Every structure is written in structure tokens, then in C-alpha cells.
Structure 1
Amino acid sequence: MRSLGLMWQRARRSTARVASLASMSLAGDVCVVTGACGFLGARLVRLLLEEERLSEIRLLDRNVPPDFIQTLEDALGETQLSVFEGDIRDRELVARACTGASLVFHTAALIDVIGAVDPSELYGVNVKGTQLLLETCIQEKVASFVYTSSIEVTGPNSHGEPIICGNEDTPYVCCLKFPYSQSKKEAEQLCLGRNGARMATCVLRPMYIYGEGCRFTLGHMRDGIKNGDVLLRMSRREAKVNPVYVGNVAVAHLQAARALREPQKRLVVGGNIYYVSDDTPPISYSDFNHAVLAPLGFGIQDRHVLPFLLLYLISFLMELLQAVLRPLLKFTPPLNRQLLVMLNTPFSFSYEKAHRDLGYTPRYDWAEARQRTTDWLASILPRERERISVK
């Protein structure tokens, strides 16, 4: 009887969800997804194909692999997929992609947490590219614009002051010094500044995104293989954050677009920022890596390789060396002070506002999200072992 009751409750929730989604459908829209082949972009494109009867989805990306469309064939339906391959700073390309479109998801960005990318390139893509896209959308009368930002525009600050279950109104003093963080913050401001009667915009700030295809998790697995299947500990157990599964981030983007299309919600959502998290338990970055890799036989160091203060000093010295060598040699330290502080500061946020305004509810719980991530890692582990052993 209890099982039947649970089945009935789930069926009622499913029916209510379908009815709710139908009222905010994007059916018939022409949609542009920038960064469409990236970690989040590809997941969002598939979700749009599976849940919406869009007239056309335009894939705007620097590089669209020949087999990318083939991976989506099972979900295509009647939606047309069009490829616009090139740089987000190409005015003519962006104009062609946006002509006749009603909705843009802007997920494309250069992500750099170790200073490997030249700051001018980061600014050019993340800020100037966003500015050009926004200007083009206004000219082409695009109705809605959803921008993918980052938790790193919030902090943590250089003092490592924590936020635990914060929200969009939580006061926090932060002076962004990392070029990536600065570029995303400036792009955010450009998006919010363009919100108005002609085009509604909103900004989503996901937590650290994990899931199938996450290059950061893959990098940690590779480091663990090199270290005899023992993961390096770079964050304190107490420095708990709340990572978010990529499938849930894609759902939040879809819900934001649906809300912007509904006249009453458009007035509420337009010009607003929303944190995107889910029900992944608060956990440190290092312990999160262990949680998804432990089933594959990986252990983790009990403590930092070196004391935190010594790591901080080493990071500072490496940054000085990088500045001295810059005119002659490109040197990228594996660790810097901002990254070290970020890895060791409790920093978590609620998705309550996104739930209230966008109707966002995580679709994947922690158990399923973790299993999907571990299964993906398991599928590529033999190849990674072989590749590393050859080196």
C-alpha cells in the first residue's frame, strides 16, 4: 500500500509539472545557444530538444565537432539544428546567428582559475564578446536573454570570510583580483544593464558545476592516477561548498527562459540574479572529488601536502616569479593565492529565490547525480590509465 501511495504521489507531481511547463512552453521559438558544444551548453541543447518543440536551435560555438549533431539525433524530433561556427567576437557571425531569434542562452566563456589565459583574451571573449552579443540581440529584437555567470563573481574574498547558505541579498565585501572573476562580473553588469522593455535579461550564478564531461573532475582523477590512486587534498574538510549537478543547471536555464516568456513573471525575473544550487550535501572540494571517485578505488590524503600558510607563501612567491618572467617566458603556477583561498573557504548558497521566481526545482538528487558522474569516470578510467602510463 505504501508503494502504491508513493507511486500515486509521484504521478500527481508529474502531472502537475507537465501542466505547469505547458503554460510556459517555448514552442515555436528560435533559440541561440552560445558555447553549445561545451560542458553545460551541450546538456542544455539536449534538454531543449527533449522538452520543448522549438522551431530551431542555433548552435554558436568556436568549434562544432562533426559528430556532435549525431549525438543528438535520438532527441531531434521536428526541431531544426543549425551550426554557426566561429568566434563570439565575430560581428557578422553573431548577427547571422541572432537574426530572427527570440531567445539567447549565453553559456560561452573562457574559464581560467590558474592564470593560464592572457587577461586580454579573457576580457575580449567574456566581456567584449558578451557586449557584442547583447548589442546584436537588441538590434535583432531578441526578446529574452539568459546569461550564465559564476559563483566566483561573489568570492570568496582574500580574507577567506565564509558564507553558509547565503542568498542573493547576503552582504559580502569582495574585491575581485582574479581576471576570470572580474570578466564574469563585468559581463553580468552588462547583461543586467540591457534589461528593459525591448529585451528581458537575467543572470544565473551556478555553484561549482559537476557531472559527465567535467574537465576539472577529470583533471583530479588524472592527478590521482599519477599519485598511485590517491587524490591530493587541497581543501580543508571544514571548507564546505555546495556543488551543483550539470543536469540541474540546465533545468534552471530552461526554467529561466520559460519565466521570461510569461508576461507577469518577466517583470519579476528580468534584471535579476539567481544562484543555482541543488541538494548535493555541503562538502569540501577535495572531499567531493573523493565522493565520486571512491567507488573506483581512489583514496584521499588525510591532510594538506603542506600547511595552509606555507602553501599561501609558496603561491605568493610563484605569482611573483610569474610576473618577473612574463616578458620573457610564459609560466603558469599550478596554484595561486585566490584559488587556494577559494578551495579552503566555506561558501554555500541557497536556490530558494530561483525556486520562488523561476519555478526551479532540482530534477536529479545527489544519489543519481553522483552515480551518473561516477559511471562516466568509470567509462574513461581505463583509457586515462593507459594514456598516463605511456607518458
Structure 2
Amino acid sequence: MAAWSCLVTGAGGFLGQRIVHLLAEEKELQEIRVLDKVFKPELLEQFSKLRSKVKVTVLEGDILDKQCLREACQGISAVIHTASIINVHSITQEDSIMKVNLQGTQLMLETSAQENVPIFIYTSSLEVAGPNSYKEVVQNGHEEENRETTWTNPYPYSKKLAEKAVLAANGQTLKDGGTLSTCALRPMYIYGEGSQFLLFHMNRALKNNNTLEKFGQYSVVNPVYVGNVAWAHILALRALRDPKRAPRIQGKFYYISDDTPHQSYVDLNYNLSKEWGFSLQSGMSCPVFLAHWIAFLLEMVSFLLYPIYKYDPPFTRHLVALSNSTFTFSYKKAKQDLGYRPLFSWEEAKQKTSDWIGSLVKEHRTLKTKMQ
């Protein structure tokens, strides 16, 4: 196969950096361009070590900067677009979330067509499908159900519109007369070492005598390890580069899960951290229906205050539904079409994540000792 190159947007992020490391192992890959607004020094050091295998070009720039995108896409064979603002709490930052998640994706698609990039893979989200209510029950859902979120909260709404734009762009004519091939991947809730959501919960627990909060204990979900999501992107890229396999997946979306046991978000946090002495909060928690109505009242307060003050409620009805519903999906179609099988088992993923949590615990203890 001829030499080729790939651009990864959001390459400094939790998922993006893992995609870059797996990409470096791909045959005949000549160059990886990594684009993000800013890169941490330690990550740049990691990327520099990959240069023994492949050329790595670091580009710091804004996903909304057209000139930056043109330079990033010139001569590129494929785009993996992971750049996104992930925010399920805020209802006041709608403008910035919509700009980056939707407008940024549209600009990437336009630039790909202008610069003759034939392959575009989009990192979508489970939230494109829902859940639309805490009462909703979906077990081992699949792509043919065509589920769609009805929430207008910035994150799920922007991801839904962006995914629609990506899939609609499949078959678009490129400037040189070629054709654009697209697909989208919808990962479950992604966990693993470096997860900002896990970091948030662990830090709160560390400040509360290693006690984990119970918010979300009524959910049943199938979380997915970050390494397996990255692997699914590599397989989607291989499939779209294969003329025989590409027609099967062009313009399609795929749910990406793995063999992590179905469990609540609370149980996941506990299973990943119990080795380090974490425990679950005792006592009763707020009933879900009550949390739903409290969230509604808080949203009304935010709406009424908006002309004079931007108030973000501590939680919303969307977050209550997301955190307390039964919402699991099968990766059967990804297995059939992409040849996807998890690269990491549940035991491996759990151990890697637990080891990282252990490093947070040790860091916290060291800091606490210094302050005494």
C-alpha cells in the first residue's frame, strides 16, 4: 500500500493521545499530524518518542481557525476528528459548546473537501441516542433502532447535529473530483487512566475521607475503556482505506462498547478504586423523581436569572436522566463491519485504571503530609 498520512484533532485529549499512539504502529503511515489548542509538555515528550516510528507534526491551533485547518489538512489522507468540548453540566456555555462541537466539525468537513482529504472519522457520543428520560430502559441496544436524543442541552444537541453533518457529507465530491467517505463512532461512557470525570469523583472522595458519592446509583450502563475506543478508531480507519470493505461502513455510525460488566456509574467508581480503601457513601440518597423535579426548578431559576446573571445549576434534568437510566448497547455491528474486538479485557482495563487512581491517592497523601 502507498504511503499515507493522518490528522488527529483533539490529539492532546484523553482519547486523542491514545489514538495517536496506536496510529504510530500502522503500516506505511508516513506522517501523523496532531492538532489541539494546547499540548502539555509531558505529552509532547511522549509524541517525540514516536518519531522513531513515524513523522509526528505538532500543530497548536483553534478548531475554528480556517487558515489553521487548511494548513493542517494539506496533503493529508485521513482525518480522525475527536476535538470536542465535553460538558454535561453547563447550560449557560451554549455558545462555546455549539461553536466548537458543531461549527468546528462543519469547518473540518468543508476543509477536508477543499483539501481533498478522502476519509473522515468522527468521534460522536452515546448521548446522541439519549437517554431521554430516567425512566427509559434500553438493554443491548443496536444501530437499527435509530435512537435520537430529544435534549436541547448544548452537549448532546451539538453532538447530534455534528454527527448528522458528518454522515450527510459521505459521498460528497472533493475539489479534485474524488469522493469523501465518512463514518461516526458512538462510544459508551469512557473510563480509564486520565479520565477527567474519574478525576473529579476521586478528588471529591479524597476530600471526604475516601468516600464516594452515590449520585447515579440507579443507572445500568456498559462503560468502555479508553484504549478500546481508540482501537475502534484505528479499525474504522483501516476499513475506510480498504476499497472492498469501505462501502459497507460509509455514512454509518457504530456503538462502541467492550466487555466491561454492566453496572451503575457508582459501582464502576467503586470497583476501580476499592483497592485503595475507597468506600460508598452510607445512608439514603435522593429519589430520582425528586431529583428530576429539583433539577427542573433549578433550570427555571437559571432561565429567569439569565438576563442579569449566568447561573449554572449543580445538576439538570438531562444529567439526572443520564445518571439514572438503564442504557446499554451492543458492539455486535462494529464487530461485524469493522472487525472490532476489545484490545483490552475488563481485568486489564480495571487494573490500569486502578493503578492510576492509586497514584492519585499517593499524591494526595504526600501533599497532605507536606501541609501538616
The aligned residue for residue 186 of structure 2 is 205
The aligned residue for residue 261 of structure 1 is 241
1:117: how far off? 5.6
Aligned length: 365
1:216 aligns with 2:208: no
Specify the SS of the correspondent of 1:234.
coil
2 CA distance for matches of 1:388 and 1:160?
42
Specify the SS of the correspondent of 1:36.
coil
1:305-337 CA-partner distances (Å, limit 9, x unpaired): 322222222212221222222232232222111
The aligned residue for residue 19 of structure 1 is none
Letter in 1 for 2:239: A
Letter in 2 for 1:344: N
2 CA distance for matches of 1:129 and 1:88?
5
Specify the SS of the correspondent of 2:325.
coil
2 CA distance for matches of 1:170 and 1:314?
32
Unaligned segments of structure 1, at least 5 residues = 1-24
1:343 aligns with 2:318: no
2 CA distance for matches of 1:159 and 1:68?
38
1:244-267 CA-partner distances (Å, limit 9, x unpaired): 000000000000000000001111
The aligned residue for residue 111 of structure 1 is 86
Letter in 1 for 2:334: A
CA change 1:258–1:173 in 2 (3 A) is closer
1 CA distance for matches of 2:110 and 2:93?
25
TM-score (normalised: structure 1): 0.89
2 CA distance for matches of 1:298 and 1:111?
27
Percent identity, aligned pairs only, is 44
Which of 268, 290, 295 pairs up with 2:275? 295
Letter in 2 for 1:227: N
Matches within 5 A, 1:1-391: 28-115=3-90, 118-158=93-133, 160-170=135-145, 172=147, 174-196=149-171, 198-237=179-218, 239-302=219-282, 304-384=284-364
1 CA distance for matches of 2:344 and 2:250?
26
**Does the 8 Å CA contact 1:225/1:385 hold for their aligned counterparts?**
no
1 CA distance for matches of 2:244 and 2:28?
22
1:228-277 CA-partner distances (Å, limit 9, x unpaired): 2110101235x210000000000000000000000011111110000000
**Does the 8 Å CA contact 1:233/1:303 hold for their aligned counterparts?**
no
1 CA distance for matches of 2:367 and 2:113?
48
2 CA distance for matches of 1:138 and 1:335?
40
**Does the 8 Å CA contact 2:92/2:312 hold for their aligned counterparts?**
no
**Does the 8 Å CA contact 2:335/2:341 hold for their aligned counterparts?**
yes
2 CA distance for matches of 1:140 and 1:127?
20
Letter in 2 for 1:212: E
2 CA distance for matches of 1:103 and 1:264?
17
Structure 1 window deviating more from structure 2 (30-39 vs 167-176): it is 167-176
1:385: how far off? 5.1
2 CA distance for matches of 1:328 and 1:218?
33
TM-score (normalised: structure 2): 0.93
1 CA distance for matches of 2:179 and 2:52?
31
1:162: how far off? 1.0
1:2-24 CA-partner distances (Å, limit 9, x unpaired): xxxxxxxxxxxxxxxxxxxxxxx
CA change 1:348–1:304 in 2 (3 A) is farther
**Does the 8 Å CA contact 2:91/2:154 hold for their aligned counterparts?**
no
1 CA distance for matches of 2:50 and 2:333?
31
CA change 1:388–1:113 in 2 (3 A) is farther
**Does the 8 Å CA contact 2:270/2:280 hold for their aligned counterparts?**
yes
1 CA distance for matches of 2:261 and 2:134?
25
2 CA distance for matches of 1:380 and 1:205?
29
1:316-369 CA-partner distances (Å, limit 9, x unpaired): 222122222223223222211111111110100000111110111101000000
Unaligned segments of structure 2, at least 5 residues = 172-177
2 CA distance for matches of 1:314 and 1:384?
34
1:75: how far off? 3.4
CA change 1:225–1:79 in 2 (3 A) is same
Specify the SS of the correspondent of 1:76.
helix
2 CA distance for matches of 1:40 and 1:117?
26
CA change 1:49–1:173 in 2 (3 A) is closer
1:37-75 CA-partner distances (Å, limit 9, x unpaired): 000000110111134442111111011233422113443
